[in-house]
Chain A
């Protein structure tokens, strides 16, 4: 635990500074207690800029970085010393390092009061909104008759006082710990809740181990799935399973079905792995999304899935890295699927090279492409409305590998291969 301690005095000799030094050395095992000097803090003036006063900025930074603060205040004219108030004014104007900082007040004075009124003033000041410290309640450490309180070695000479200070310090460490535990953690972005392990079975989930290589065969046995010449009634038509396969496998694109549990349950298997634009192996079907995406891409996958699940968008499109202008332009499209009740039922992902289509169109219409003068082109994300984060080509998978998720989920940079490709 890191504690900083400030004696509110700029006098050449100060008993409160001595008290701070004593606390720092005597309770070193309890916490790392670092005395801070306020000697170089100029008179606060609201017209001054803290940026011009490195000593003040350094003080602010050290308080900011600490887990807790101990303030030892002298009493002057029934209130805290001007030097201490002066520091607090600097640290409650442009910067606010005391905000929510666990703080302990102690103080020493010449006579019987032991800085009692200064401590009350200081407490009131520290609790003002611009300061916002969390001052420890209950125990007050008031060191009276300070001129005779320390022995020659700088230790408190009265054993009772020593013991009481130990109790106060013990409570303060507890106070710091309790407040640290209460510190609100910033709300995790909603997309982080996307469960890529597919551990929320849905009404279509089949009770077969997801990682089984023969997940399809096991599942088919369990569900007595239609096959071959069995008819399936569709909206709108009637096909046998064979016919369905012939049909799906002749679309000029690679299609993948990721259900609402983020389980990869289908792809149209008409090319071998090595010939695919987004390569898949038959054994991958059934895998959870987490198993078919490299770890570095998973935040991006989550962002896209969340966008589609939450309805932020129904379709997300992105080109893959490594595309070549006017030669090959592979696009991934992620389309949210919904049932008749508008419940999200997963993602239809399709992958295709759109260049042959564009080239054919140009040929048929006798046109050429011309670049827009001065247009800013991002070769990676140009074709996509929302993929604005730069992606780097990845030699292994052809997948985008922006290593950091973007700050806002509204602008995701998903792995180019949100389908299934890790094997």
Chain B
């Protein structure tokens, strides 16, 4: 049983990205626990002179640290990730590094047809920066377009193909998390050997 943190990159009251994480936590309850993290209400990132971060960021950092991986569902604003998400990631890499070496799966939902393709590419770029240094699931994208019509009233995804695709990605993500753990362990061993 894997344990993941799910981040919907939004502070909007109604968000189909949050809905997507909620769907996953329910749909994959047999194979994983997915805890939905809330980044609404965090202050906008700035470089605090004393290097402190908001308490909410510290808490989430600890949860991420303890998790097997992170699932981020990003909206797309102006061909990019919302500021509220990039700001949260900035806090989560300011003198704390919970994402370093952490498996991350990127997905996203949008009202239009494209399903956040550009925001996902940018998020990938952000997560590879040295201060975040996440391990992003390399292949397979999940782009949920027309997201306002994608869910039933009960919060189920209506498109069976999308469900099958997401099932596959989730299975891959679990394998990726295991391989990454091995990689991290062997890297650690190499570093130790080099130091010895």
Question: Are both chains from one complex?
Answer: yes
Which residues of A are at the interface with B, using a C-beta cutoff of 8 A?
Answer: 9-12, 42-47, 76-83, 85-86, 88-89, 92, 117, 121, 124-125, 127-128, 130-131
Contacts known (A44-B84, A125-B78); A82 close to B45, Cβ less than 8 A: yes
Rounded to whole Å, the gap between the CB of B65 and the closest CB of chain A is: 18
Would you call the interface of chain B mostly helix, strand, loop, or mixed? loop
Rounded to whole Å, the gap between the CB of B191 and the closest CB of chain A is: 24
Which residues of B are at the interface with A, using a C-beta cutoff of 8 A?
Answer: 11-13, 40, 42-47, 49, 77-84, 86-87, 89-90, 93, 118, 122, 125-126, 128-129, 131-132
Docked complex Cα distance between A156 and B47 (Å): 24
Whether A86 lies near B83 (C-beta < 8 A) is: yes
Docked complex Cα distance between A88 and B87 (Å): 14
Rounded to whole Å, the gap between the CB of B108 and the closest CB of chain A is: 15
Rounded to whole Å, the gap between the CB of A70 and the closest CB of chain B is: 19
Rounded to whole Å, the gap between the CB of B80 and the closest CB of chain A is: 5
Whether A43 lies near B78 (C-beta < 8 A) is: no
Query: Of A76, A77, A127, A128, which is in contact with the most chain B CB atoms at under 10 Å from its CB?
Result: A77
When the two chains form the complex, which single residue of A44, A79, A82, A83 contacts B122, counting CB atoms closer than 8 Å?
A79
Contacts known (A79-B125, A92-B78); A11 close to B132, Cβ less than 8 A: no
Query: Of B84, B89, B131, which is in contact with the most chain A CB atoms at under 10 Å from its CB?
Result: B84
When the two chains form the complex, which single residue of A11, A89, A117 contacts B46, counting CB atoms closer than 8 Å?
A11
Docked complex Cα distance between A399 and B180 (Å): 88
Whether B90 lies near A43 (C-beta < 8 A) is: no
Whether A125 lies near B11 (C-beta < 8 A) is: no
Docked complex Cα distance between A78 and B130 (Å): 9
Whether A78 lies near B45 (C-beta < 8 A) is: no
CB-CB under 8 A from B84, the residues of chain A are 43-45, 82, 86
Docked complex Cα distance between A11 and B51 (Å): 12
15 further contact pairs, Cβ within 8 A, besides A88-B78, A128-B79: A44-B84, A45-B40, A77-B126, A78-B125, A81-B90, A82-B45, A83-B44, A86-B44, A86-B87, A117-B125, A121-B80, A121-B122, A125-B78, A125-B79, A125-B80
Q: Please, could you name 13 A-B residue pairs with CB atoms under 8 Å apart, sorted by A? A: A11-B46, A43-B43, A44-B83, A77-B86, A77-B89, A79-B125, A81-B90, A82-B84, A82-B90, A89-B77, A92-B77, A125-B78, A128-B78
Docked complex Cα distance between A110 and B131 (Å): 14
Nearest B residue to A39 by beta-carbon distance? B46
Docked complex Cα distance between A88 and B82 (Å): 10
Contacts known (A10-B44, A77-B93, A78-B129); A47 close to B82, Cβ less than 8 A: no
CB-CB under 8 A from B12, the residues of chain A are 45-47
When the two chains form the complex, which single residue of A12, A45, A76, A131 contacts B78, counting CB atoms closer than 8 Å?
A131
Nearest B residue to A83 by beta-carbon distance? B44
Whether A89 lies near B78 (C-beta < 8 A) is: yes
CB-CB under 8 A from A127, the residues of chain B are 79
Contacts known (A44-B84, A128-B78); A76 close to B13, Cβ less than 8 A: no
